[in-house]
Amino acid sequence: MKTREDYIAEDFTATIPVAEYMANYRDAEKFIGFCRQCTRYNTYWACPPFSFNVDHYLSQCQTALIIGTKITPLHPKRITDVISFGKEMMETERKRTDELLLEMEKTYKGRAFFPGSCLLCPTCTRTEGKPCLYPERVRPSLEACGFDIGKTASELLHIELKWGDKDRMPEYLLLVSGIFGDIQKDL
């Protein structure tokens, strides 16, 4: 658990065989359909469509380690700009989580899936038809590969997704990421 001046970040984990995770928590048609409606679709290297076959890639892995980072504001009534505060908390924790996942890739000879959108560049080179500037660091999200993050969070991590609005911060924010590879159950 990380405590900052304004929030607490807690990581929760669950392991599951990849075949089971794909069978029970993935609906590529539904969730890639949501991606198609997003302005980032086909304009960011971390977003679909991908140059690799997701089914083939994932089926080569044995175990998925799912990581939920729950970010709880310590003083929600003091927040004056909900959007900026939430974005700042998430970006700070994303950077920490992304670095952790890249290290775990080496340890488990696996592949990380970052939470949400890519944070590497202000403007992605994909829109210009150019290759990614950071191919060694860019990673798709679980949802961009068709996984149901709400079901993953509630059933595997035992954390419900919470929603706020432009004027109200939810009780907490949740980032869901993962790593697929040769991961031992005794983590």
**pLDDT tens digits along 65-76:** 999 999 999 887
* DSSP single-letter state for residue 143: G
Residues whose CB is less than 8 angstroms from the CB of residue 19 and which lie 6 or more positions away in sequence, other chains included: 59
Global pTM value: 0.90
Res 145 pLDDT > 70: yes
Where residue 158 falls (left for φ over 0; alpha for ψ -120 to 50; beta otherwise) is left
Task: Check residue 150 and give its pLDDT.
Answer: 96
| Digit-coded pLDDT (tens) for 44-53 | 999 999 988 9
Can you tell me the distance from the alpha carbon of 83 to that of 89, in angstroms, rounded to the nearest whole number?
A: 10
| Residue showing tokens 């919470």 | 162
pLDDT of the residue at 23: 96
